[in-house]
Amino acid sequence: MHNHVEMHGHASLQKKNLYMKHIVIIGSGIAGIETASALTDAGHWVTVIEKEVHVGGKLNNWTYLFPDFTPAEEITKPLFSKFREKDFSFLPNTEIKTVIRNNNKFSIETSGNQQLEADAIVLATGYELFDARRKEEYGYKIYDHVITSFDLEQLFKPEGKLTVAFGKHPKRIAFVHCVGSRDEKSGNHYCSKVCCITGVKQAIELKKRIPEAEIFCFYIDLRMYDKHFEELYRQAQEKYDIQFIRGRLSEASENIDKSLLIKAEDTLSGRPLKMNVDMLVLLVGMEAGEGTTTVARTCGVSCEESGFLKTQDSFLKSNFSDQEGIFLAGSCFAPMSVHDTILHARSAAQEVNDWLKNNN
Amino acid sequence: MKDFGYTVIKQRTIDYDQFDGRLLKEVLEMEPSFKVCLSCGGCTATCSAGDLVSFNIRRMNLMLRRGETFELESEIEKCMLCGKCMLVCPRGINLRNVIMLIKKSILKFKPAKT
């Protein structure tokens, strides 16, 4: 039993004969699973490598999705059933150690000392959330009631409790947009794309749960780029009385009663503004993260300055890394929504399939 | 001449054709980081002077770009050069240098008071 692929055993030998090509996918988040199931459907033998124990990646931690409050489970469930039903190999708790190119094939050695021969590799290593402690001026993990959008999402789960000091509901809540995005001081010059709409979605969700709360969003620009986003923003104003203030928070400080004093410029009135809030939510951005960087190094794939992986051509070849035969799927390429990740993963499968037909 | 109390109202429109960009050009050449301001207002939020007087360091960028050179001269006098704005700026703009450059160059380009 030296590897999991062999464990599926009796099928393994048949696979080598029956299936067209062997594709190794790194990462089993939504991008990895979607690519894997499409390539399996196309008749290939697929092995998915995952460093964690479970499939599903980051989406496992999300409760509702923008822009229509779809429960995240409605996306992960069908994904997991694809995972169970489709005949591909899964190596959990596994990372890749080396990748060596031999003619048209890749020899991959895993952390479990398994040797895999692949005709193509798909990187679906995803992203990491920005560590808000790096923006010390906002006091995350210093002040009690400064939380991130990730933390808030956990509070939306059935077991979550939306309370602040003395078990009271927060009466006034502020959201800070662009935390760790568009910010050279934290090393991320790019826009993470999804936080604007996440903020609007979470503000509405909070208002539904605590109707008496006053909710403010502090933004630099509101980028409602996709279908139904602008409508949700409008709803936030019209139906939920969310107030939008154009100005980036300069700092937060904690009062003796654990409420927070925040400062921003109300840029539209051109005056400094201060306000006490009971809870501060930091809308953290996306980063390529350690996982993606390490895998890129192992595979010899280049990163952009942002840390996200480089493509051959962002219009026509956004699934092609700069290494022939190594493909990209999902947010290891750029920050993207669940919706866009699924599309990017499907197109990755298509590209891999076409490439294998034409190049082998 | 008899004063009938009539005045000619000055147009409020920004007449961009009349824009004198010499000061802006000089400042940007010496401190290119000033080009990338995204008008977030973080600088103004944390400004030590802005709490007390009507000093808005974010608007300095606009005043330069709209040719409000005359107003700019008195505005920058309010800055205490503490540098907190630079700590906060997400784009790493050297605002203190911008103030110093304006101070140095403004006399060259200041229009005659009308």
Q: Enumerate the β-bridge partners of residue A168.
A: none
Smallest Cβ–Cβ distance between B38 and the set A220, A263, A264 belongs to A220
Residue A137 with chain B: CB contacts under 8 Å? 88
Q: Check residue A42 and give its pLDDT.
A: 92
Same structural domain for residues A282 and A137? yes
What SS3 state is found at A344? Answer: helix
Whether residue A121 contacts residue A106, with contact meaning beta carbons closer than 8 Å, is answered with yes
**A246/B45 Cβ within 8 A:** no
Query: How many residues does this entry show for chain A?
Result: 360
| Preceding omega of A67 cis (within 30 degrees of 0) | yes
Show the tokens assigned to A64. Answer: 């509702």
Q: Which of A191, A265, A271 to mutate to test the interface with B (most CBs of B within 10 A)?
A: A265
| One domain, residues A11 and A91 | yes
**pLDDT score, position A84:** 81
Alpha-carbon distance of B40 to A138, in angstroms, equals 16
Task: Give the residue from A248, A263, A266 with the most B CB atoms within 10 Å of its CB, the best one to mutate.
Answer: A248
For the cut 50, the answer to whether the pLDDT of residue B11 exceeds it is yes
Check CB contact under 8 Å for B56 and A270: yes
3-state secondary structure of A341: helix
Q: Are residues A32 and A69 in the same domain?
A: yes
Chain B residue numbers touching A273 (CB-CB < 8 A): 45
Residues in chain B closer than 8 A to A271 (CB atoms): 56
Query: In this prediction, what percent of chain B has a pLDDT beyond 70?
Result: 96
ipTM: 0.85
Inter-CA distances, A96 with A196, A228, A291, Å: 35, 39, 11
- Considering the entire predicted model, what is its pTM? 0.91
Residue in chain B lying closest to A182 (CA): B90
Q: Are residues A119 and A136 in the same domain?
A: no
Residues of B in contact with A222 (CB under 8 A): none
Residue range B20-66, pLDDT digits in tens: 889 999 999 999 999 999 999 999 999 999 888 999 999 999 999 98
Q: Does B35 touch chain A (CB under 8 A)?
A: no
Measure the CA–CA gap between A263 and A186, rounded to whole angstroms. Answer: 19
Residues in A lying within 8 Å of B, measured between beta carbons: 137, 178, 182-185, 220-221, 246-251, 263-267, 270-273
Nearest CA in chain A to B44: A265
Q: What is the CATH number of the domain that holds A214?
A: 3.50.50.60
pLDDT at A3: 39
- What is the C-alpha separation between B2 and A21, in angstroms, rounded? 98
On whether both A120 and A22 belong to a single domain, the answer is yes
Based on the domain organization, do A293 and A246 belong to the same domain? Answer: no
Same domain, yes or no, for A282 and A155?
yes
State the total domains in chain A: 2
Amino acid code (one letter) for A329: A
Distance CA A281, CA A66 (A): 17
Please report, rounded to a whole number, the percentage of residues in chain A having pLDDT higher than 70: 94
Query: What domain range includes position A103?
Result: 4-127+288-359
Q: Do B56 and A271 make contact, defined as CB atoms within 8 angstroms? A: yes
Where is the domain boundary, A241, A264, A286?
Answer: A286
Q: Which of A233, A258, A286 is the last residue of a domain?
A: A286
Please tell me the predicted confidence (pLDDT) of residue B94: 97
Residues A139 and A275 in one domain: yes
Residues A157 and A269 in one domain: yes
User: Sign of dihedral through CA atoms A14, A18, A21, A25?
Assistant: negative
Same domain membership, residue A338 and residue A214: no
- A246, A271, A286 - which closes a domain: A286
| A149 shares its domain with A279 | yes
3-state SS record for chain B: CCCCCCCCCCCCCCCHHHCCCHHHHHHHHHCHHHHHCCCCCHHHHHCCCCCCCCCCHHHHHHHHHCCCHHHHHHHHCCCCCCCHHHHHCCCCCCHHHHHHHHHHHHHHHCCCCC
- Tens place of pLDDT per residue across chain A (360 aa): 333 443 443 344 444 545 589 999 999 999 999 999 999 999 999 999 999 999 989 999 999 999 999 999 999 999 888 878 888 899 999 999 999 999 889 999 999 999 999 999 999 999 999 999 999 999 999 999 999 999 999 999 988 888 887 788 899 999 999 999 999 999 999 999 999 999 999 999 999 999 999 999 999 999 999 999 999 999 999 999 999 999 999 999 999 999 999 999 999 999 999 999 999 999 999 999 899 999 999 999 999 999 999 998 889 999 999 999 999 999 999 999 999 999 999 999 999 999 998 886
On whether both A117 and A136 belong to a single domain, the answer is no
Q: List, in sequence order, every residue forming a beta bridge with A176; answer none if it has no partner.
A: A218, A282
